[in-house]
Structure 1
Amino acid sequence: MRGEQETSRNAAPCFIGQRDFPGTPQSAGAARKWVVDLLAGQASTEVMETLELLVSEVVTNAIVHSDSRKPGGLVTVCAGLVENMIHIEVIDDGSVISVPAMRQADDDSPGGRGLGWVDFLATAWGTHHDEEMGRVVWFQLAYEVPSL
């Protein structure tokens, strides 16, 4: 589990966008579309498809497992680039009873695989908590600029 041990980023990303989404289930799709539109043309189709999946998983986790799901709650998505990596941060309202952690999902369980996918597919990932911002789950995907 390389990701759970990673709690700091390598270098500061150059953020190119940030957007708040309501803490509702529909926001996962809206966040996914926003990130893909923002980063269109930055990476191969394969990397962009992986990016879509991981944004959806992390935003869904933020809504389901944090106080962002409460009325008026928000999830903030930040997208940036750093050292040939796409860098995504998902900031939620945190929770006193839940922290981001990979868990073993039952074969017949519909959930419990989100951070497993992040750990498997991302180049790096981690979490941290900031008293002012909230809880942050971030991940990075290596990319090469697609040839024309």
Structure 2
Amino acid sequence: MRTTQNTSARTNPHKRFLGRPAVFRCSLPGKPSQVAEARRWAAAVLVHRVHAAPGLVDTAELLVSEAVTNAIVHTATGRPGGSFTVVIRAYPAGVRIEVHDAGGSTTAPRPLHAADDAEHGRGLALTAALAQEWGILSGRRVRGVFFTLHTG
């Protein structure tokens, strides 16, 4: 696992997150076993580098797990040789976390209304409920999802 930090990244277009963020990245193979590794990495960055509150760390861990799982299950990330990248952008007002996937999905991510006994289908609904904002990344170079968690 390779982690990098970039403090000279472009500013976030969301007005709540002004200024230059501290940026942390981790790229991992697109294997189900790497979901836990992504969660541990994100928690370690949030605790030791960002000094985030425990509640924010807990929520971020859950949402990173959901986003990475979705990338592995629903995109080319989960195919042989696939990978994903988790990006944490830390601002004074909170964090923006992105999960970049390998693309290949024919539909855009959207929350589902899962049946009570369904084993799948709650990831983006959880993200929509717990994050202050979330959205889809669909540029030429980056595909995936993002969510923001505010500190206050």
* Runs of 4+ displaced beyond 6 Å: none
* TM-score, scaled to structure 2: 0.82
- Aligned pair partner of 1:85 in 65, 72, 94: 94
Contact 1:80-1:87 within 8 A present in 2 as well: yes
| Separation (CA, whole Å) in 1 of partners of 2:105 and 2:71 | 13
Q: Which has the higher contact order (CA 8 A, sep 6+)?
A: 1
- Tell me which amino acid in the other structure corresponds to 2:150: A
- Alpha-carbon RMSD across the aligned residues, in angstroms, is 1.8
Count of aligned pairs between the two proteins: 136
Please tell me whether residue 123 in structure 1 is matched to residue 132 in structure 2.
yes
**Structure 2: gaps spanning 5 or more residues:** 1-11
How far has the Cα of 1:15 moved from its partner?
4.0
| Separation (CA, whole Å) in 2 of partners of 1:95 and 1:105 | 23
Contact 1:65-1:98 within 8 A present in 2 as well: no
* TM-score, scaled to structure 1: 0.84
How far has the Cα of 1:82 moved from its partner?
2.6
Q: Deviations over 1:66-122 (max 9, x none)?
A: 011111001111011135111101000112423211111111110100000000000
How far has the Cα of 1:60 moved from its partner?
0.6
Q: Secondary structure at the match of 2:47?
A: coil
- Tell me which amino acid in the other structure corresponds to 1:143: T
Aligned to 1:5: none
Contact 2:113-2:121 within 8 A present in 1 as well: yes
How far has the Cα of 1:143 moved from its partner?
1.1
| Separation (CA, whole Å) in 2 of partners of 1:74 and 1:15 | 23
Q: Secondary structure at the match of 1:89?
A: strand
Aligned to 1:40: 47
**Structure 1: gaps spanning 5 or more residues:** 1-7
